[in-house]
């Protein structure tokens, strides 16, 4: 190794191999990551809590296992961060809300534990939109997160802190949750790889719920291989008995990563490529991805998703209803912020919720309460579930003609903080991702370089049939080989975090 190498120049596999071979220790990598966070996060604000004690303790345990001659995990010494709706003993799990500002994690989420069991070093908890309600990480009760490519712009959301931490080179991999695009959209805006696996592929036990039929946990990384490595850790151990929706996913996501795509088919939906609100540079990024796959021998075919235009409407019925149900527990008695000085339980509950939740959280819960009320439920909730069935069937028919579907991940590049004050305009940020959550299929956002007009990251999205997520990463890797993949945002690359 060179005299001084910034750890952010290394992939997850390179870090794990270096620790295993003794080129450097896990503790050295942990200290480099913590130095990078100290040096960079004042500008990015990706973290809500940094955990140096946990990081150094886990790294020291990895080094001890190596010294004892034990086999190390595939993520040995790899710095990782976790969205702050995921429990980790020794940290607070706040969901970026005043409601849970002092909530200490009573146990560790399965997804977090599996990365740690694979050898990952827990560096901290990342910022998010409050309770995952948002697409910009501006609704956090504590502070916004800034896009490392332009700190006057948002990183996307709701997993904006996790995406920004990877893009700024503070950690190598991170975890986010995706209910309507909350991994893929911030991955797009921050220029990193972000994957939403098939619903049920990754355990959600220990992750604070937003929409229980929509939520899924997935990884961010600066390369497809890093995401594949993280996915291997997330599915290791098979079905989680603590999550009734968890399924066995017995595949090695690295096994076919370099397979050719020659002879395989890629679906494109013409109406999505002409959708109102889609920026030209994002359209160009998808066309570049299609061309790169075609040049590698893939066939581009047109497919139809006739009901996809109704996806946002259906989502903003189903998701608020599930959010209202899930957040009813935060009443200031059993969980969460408790308003002082209230003479009655009713007043305490009312004021605790009024002052504990932010505006967007209250907006979505009130919408959910209305939609579940008598006389309204039948008018909106039932039809939304019927639309969900139609969209799922549309995808099934489309996948009879193709292996994956290629489309935009975000309608535009990162927008400026405060630019979107209209909630409905913000909701449209997920116009290309929501349908996949409704159907429960997998999706991945792949960096496509910088837009010609904005100079900001642009991306393409691949979607695939349920539990064919490994195939998604094969196509994503094919695009990455042709285009070049992600990198640390130039303003942060190499600043702090050196391995001697």
Q: In 3-state terms, what secondary structure has residue 499?
A: strand
Partners of 47 in beta bridges: 126
228 φ/ψ angles, rounded to the nearest 5 degrees = -65, -40
Largest CA distance in the chain: 72
Interior angle at CA 446, CA 190 and CA 94, nearest 5: 45
| Alpha carbon separation from 273 to 70, 151, 432, 460 (Å, rounded) | 52, 29, 10, 11
**Which is the catalytic residue, given 139, 158, 246, 471?**
158
Active-site annotation holder among 105, 177, 182, 459: 182
Instruction: For residue 41, give the nearest of 157, 155, 132, 178 by alpha carbon.
Output: 155
Angle between helices 280-295 and 469-483 (to 10 degrees): 100
Residue 83 annotated as catalytic: yes
Measured distance between the N- and C-terminal CA atoms of the chain, rounded to whole angstroms: 9
CA geometry: angle 420, 423, 427, nearest 5 deg: 95
**Residues of 49-63 as b/e, b for ≥16 C-beta within 10 angstroms?**
bbbeebbbbbbeebb
Choice among 83, 136, 223, 435 that is catalytic:
83
For residues 358 and 329, give the distance between their C-alpha atoms in angstroms, rounded to a whole number.
Answer: 16
The rounded distance, in Å, linking the Cα atoms of 201 and 182 is: 17
In sequence order, the β-bridge partners of residue 86 are 207
Active site residues: 83, 158, 182
């Amino acid at each position: 190794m060179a005299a001084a190498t910034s750890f952010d120049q290394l992939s997850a596999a390179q870090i794990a191999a270096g620790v295993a071979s003794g080129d450097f220790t896990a503790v050295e990598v942990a200290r480099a990551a913590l130095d990078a966070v100290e040096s960079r996060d004042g500008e990015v604000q990706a973290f809500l809590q940094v955990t140096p004690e946990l990081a150094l303790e886990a790294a020291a345990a990895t080094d001890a296992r190596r010294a004892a001659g034990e086999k190390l995990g595939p993520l040995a010494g790899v710095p990782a961060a976790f969205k702050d709706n995921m429990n980790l003993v020794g940290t607070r799990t706040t969901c970026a809300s005043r409601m849970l500002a002092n909530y200490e994690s009573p146990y560790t989420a399965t997804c977090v534990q599996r990365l740690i069991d694979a050898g990952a070093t827990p560096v901290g908890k990342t910022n998010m939109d409050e309770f995952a309600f948002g697409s910009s990480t501006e609704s956090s009760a504590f502070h916004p997160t800034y896009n490392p490519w332009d700190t006057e712009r948002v990183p996307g959301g709701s997993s904006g802190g996790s995406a920004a931490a990877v893009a700024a080179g503070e950690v190598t991999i991170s975890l986010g949750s995706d209910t309507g695009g909350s991994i893929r959209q911030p991955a797009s805006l921050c220029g990193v790889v972000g994957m939403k696996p098939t619903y049920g592929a990754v355990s959600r036990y220990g992750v604070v719920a937003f929409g229980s039929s929509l939520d899924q946990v997935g990884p961010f990384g600066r390369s497809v291989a890093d995401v594949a490595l993280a996915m291997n850790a997330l599915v290791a151990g098979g079905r989680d008995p603590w999550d009734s929706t968890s399924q066995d996913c017995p595949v090695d996501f690295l096994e076919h990563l370099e397979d050719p795509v020659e002879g395989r088919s890629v679906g494109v939906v013409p109406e999505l490529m002409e959708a109102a609100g889609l920026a030209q540079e994002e359209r160009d990024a998808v066309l570049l991805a299609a061309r790169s796959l075609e040049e590698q021998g893939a066939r581009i075919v047109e497919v139809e998703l006739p009901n996809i235009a109704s996806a946002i409407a259906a989502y903003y019925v189903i998701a608020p209803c599930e959010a209202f149900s899930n957040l009813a527990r935060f009443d200031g008695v059993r969980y969460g912020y408790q308003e002082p000085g209230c003479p009655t339980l009713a007043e305490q509950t009312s004021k605790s919720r009024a002052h504990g939740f932010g505006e967007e959280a209250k907006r979505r819960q009130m919408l959910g309460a209305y939609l579940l009320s008598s006389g309204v439920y039948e008018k909106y909730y039932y039809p939304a579930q019927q639309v969900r069935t139609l969209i799922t069937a549309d995808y099934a028919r489309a996948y009879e003609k193709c292996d994956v579907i290629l489309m935009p991940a975000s309608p535009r590049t990162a927008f400026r903080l405060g630019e979107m004050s209209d909630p409905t305009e913000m909701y449209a940020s997920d116009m290309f991702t929501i349908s996949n959550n409704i159907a429960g299929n997998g999706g991945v956002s792949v960096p496509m370089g910088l837009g010609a007009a904005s100079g900001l990251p642009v991306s393409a999205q691949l979607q695939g049939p349920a539990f064919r997520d490994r195939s998604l990463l094969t196509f994503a890797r094919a695009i990455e080989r042709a285009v070049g993949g992600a990198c640390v945002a130039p303003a942060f690359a190499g600043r702090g975090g050196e391995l001697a």
